[in-house]
Structure 1
């Protein structure tokens, strides 16, 4: 079956109202061509079964060189300057066999067993941050808690100095948002220079951290080039906290809008691990998965996508597909949300998923335990989402604590 390739134009409400737009798109066609807010024509996938199929199809690739060629074919600047490209040449933007080789180097660092050893330190950081909020009556929970917790965890894991963490968060935010080319290049240049210096420091004086381990693996002939090492450090640092920041904040935001679900979780904290899966399904931290392209014609859900076309998978849309999840727009902390796609699917499934789950569970347990009267300090509809089609996260989360 072939559908019309006349693209449907999408606007800013794709960011501010992603669930409504995803539902409308799914009704119109679970796989269909759209024109993104900045003019790029892509095929967008909003059905769960169709998303799983695309995410695991070897004919749908991510190689940065081909993505760049297709951007230039369509008259768009692909990814900034050489510095931006150097940072973006990581395993998330590669296909096998390069992806397979790089993924193998970091898999062991993020297994559930390995990550579980971090629990005491994550609990300690959580307690310190909650203590820091102190006796305040109100706060922005993003800046006070949801942002600094994952940043401290991933930076300590990789070996980033504590004093450098705020600057790193600023650069990362610029690089995942709808930034201008000038802003993107500026943030990338600072990030690149910092990581080059950090890698050299770790090479000269190795420490007990993941980045030192990756440098050692490279020096031992594990086929990790200097550019690969740089882009790997960038990926692990950015992905290691962007997803978790928004998972924590989105989860709290969802709970504070659903008092019955908040009460159920308070009454039975043992529900938390399963509730985290429901938060991931209900309002996950990633909206549209990173861009892919078809290397040959691919038929998905009865729709043929021609070769050399861009494809975006709406993880948010797939996770609210009524054909997969009953009453998908309802938050239910007792639901079995197994099968959600918040961390992707296939060979690019998020390597840091065990860490994100653990951090979210500890953060929510600590927060709800410390502040039994926690509630929103604004009308929900007045809060805005960050201007990004990649990350799905709030700009602020004002709450009353007392």
Structure 2
């Protein structure tokens, strides 16, 4: 969704900091999302683009990590550079700032407690095995539609207790939030999610079950029950959060293993290395970016960003910054043996509440795919396709074996 014309440069933005960079259509992003973003490396730590109504972009890893966790000078209320999206979506807890967001986030975190993630592991394994058994005899598949868009959504929809058959109609909503194509207004997008969720929210409030929404809504907010409006905003937040990020992660992991046969061989020969390999692959292929709005002026990197400005923080430019990670573009499974301070799942007060679930799903996917599919590679006659956005993702990944 490229802007029609660049916004006028504000007076406080030095001309030397202006770049022509559209986060929804970076140069070459349809072929290589990561290379497209790396074109911003090596220059100032903060640049300004007039695309998408004008906003700052942090380009240096240390600044990105520092600002991502800054909840005093920055707010998450804007949500994204898409005009009006934040005001319309009004997510809980994602768009709340400390201290208001703490009791809501605590309730959500209790819903995602480790014992619940562990309990989902057999289902992830079973769904993965069934899909693999179906595609293996074909000698190849378009991975995104055959696997990546199925497993995470099946698990998430099972987790919240809605029909898994609804995946086909819900998946496009996640894509419109993170990579909008203009076919839906932000109001239409919110209303589509709310219309779907309303009967489930009402039921969970009246008659809680053992699903994720029920677990969260059973936790009092500072001694009181959730209101319907709060519950709706929370369920809306989690629905959108569960529809896209892990799909993108699966695609990038599969693409890497398809390109690097040696890494495939390593993990086939020693499955004990898969947890560390998962962490390293998550670091190497980050696709999530967030938008913050400034609540007061900030002087940083030789420029003044004004209260009300929007600031875009791409995890890719932190995780692939050689000042933050040694040889960052090289995948080194041993790197994942010790804790790595990457920003793939965010940092600070708004770190992804589903990070543990996403990591578990990725590990099980790698285990089952390598156990069930012979050595595989990217189809040389059908190149990969990607699309950038607040979550960048492969749209086509043809694998053969």
TM-score between both structures, scaled by the size of structure 2: 0.87
> Which residue does the alignment assign to 1:47?
60
**2-structure distance, mates of 1:311, 1:242:** 22
State the match for 1:396 in structure 2: 396
User: Measured at CA, do residues 77 and 53 of structure 1 come closer, stay the same or move farther in structure 2, by a change above 3 Å?
Assistant: closer
1:108 aligned residue = 110
What is aligned with 1:354?
A: 356
Match for residue 7 of structure 2? none
1:318 aligns with 2:328: no
CA distance in 2: counterparts of 1:13 and 1:147, whole angstroms: 24
Deviation at 1:204, TM superposition (A): 4.6
Displacement of 1:330: 1.7
Kindly state the Cα deviation for residue 93 of structure 1 after the two structures are TM-superposed.
1.5
1:308-356 superposed Cα distances (whole Å, 9 cap, x missing partner): 2111111011100001111112222232371111011110111110000
Structure 1 segment 56-95 matched on structure 2, within 5 A: 56-64=69-77, 67=78, 77-79=83-85, 85=87, 87-95=89-97
List alignment gaps of at least 5 residues for structure 2: 1-11
TM superposition shift of 1:146: 1.1
Q: CA deviation at 1:174?
A: 2.1
Kindly provide the CA deviation profile for residues 27-71 of structure 1, in whole angstroms up to 9, marking residues without a partner as x: 1112222233x3x2211112221111101222343353xx39x98
Alpha carbons of structure 1 residues 223 and 48: separation in structure 2 relative to 1, 3 Å:
farther
Is the counterpart of residue 19 in structure 1 residue 19 in structure 2?
A: no
Shift of 1:303: 4.5
Count of matched residue positions in the alignment of Structure 1 and Structure 2: 383
Give 1:220 deviation, angstroms.
10
Secondary structure in structure 2 of the residue aligned to 1:29: coil
Structure 1 CA distance, aligned partners of 2:381 and 2:119?
39
Within the alignment, does 1:383 sit opposite 2:387 as a pair? no
Do the aligned residues in 1 keep the contact of 2:170 with 2:243 (CA within 8 Å)? no
Change (3 A) 1:275 1:230: same
Aligned counterpart, 2:46? 31
- Hey, what's the Cα distance between the residues in 2 that align with 1:93 and 1:220? 19
Give the whole-Å Cα distance in 1 for the aligned partners of 2:201 and 2:369. 35
* Distance verdict in 2 for CA 1:77–1:304, change over 3 Å: closer
Call closer, same or farther: CA 1:351–1:237 in 2, change over 3 Å: same
Q: Deviations over 1:119-146 (max 9, x none)?
A: 2222122222222325222211111111
More helix by share: 1
C-alpha distance in 2 between matches for 1:53 and 1:10:
22
Return 295-304 or 144-153, whichever deviates more: 295-304
Following superposition, the deviation at residue 366 of structure 1 comes to 0.3
1:153-172 correspondence to structure 2 within 5 Å: 153-172=155-174
1:3 deviation in Å?
A: 7.9
- In terms of mean alpha carbon deviation, does 347-356 or 127-136 score higher? 127-136
Q: Structure 1: any 5+ residue segments left out of the alignment?
A: none
Q: Is the 8 A contact 1:50 1:300 kept in 2?
A: no
CA distance in 1, matches of 2:130, 2:58: 42
The SS at the match of 2:349 is: helix
User: Residues 335 and 3 from structure 1, CA distance in 2 versus in 1: closer, same or farther, beyond 3 angstroms?
Assistant: farther
Report the 3-state secondary structure (helix = DSSP H, G, I; strand = E; otherwise coil) of the residue aligned with 1:98: coil
1:9 aligns with 2:15: no
- Secondary structure at the residue paired with 2:40? helix
Whether the aligned pair in 1 keeps the contact of 2:75 and 2:295 (CA below 8 Å) is no
Instruction: Return the alpha-carbon distance in structure 2 between the equivalents of residues 98 and 219 of structure 1.
Output: 11
Q: Return the alpha-carbon distance in structure 1 between the equivalents of residues 33 and 221 of structure 2.
A: 45
Cα distance in 1 for partners of 2:230, 2:340 equals 34
Q: Give the aligned partner of residue 330 of structure 1.
A: 330
CA distance in 1 between counterparts of 2:381 and 2:13 reads 41
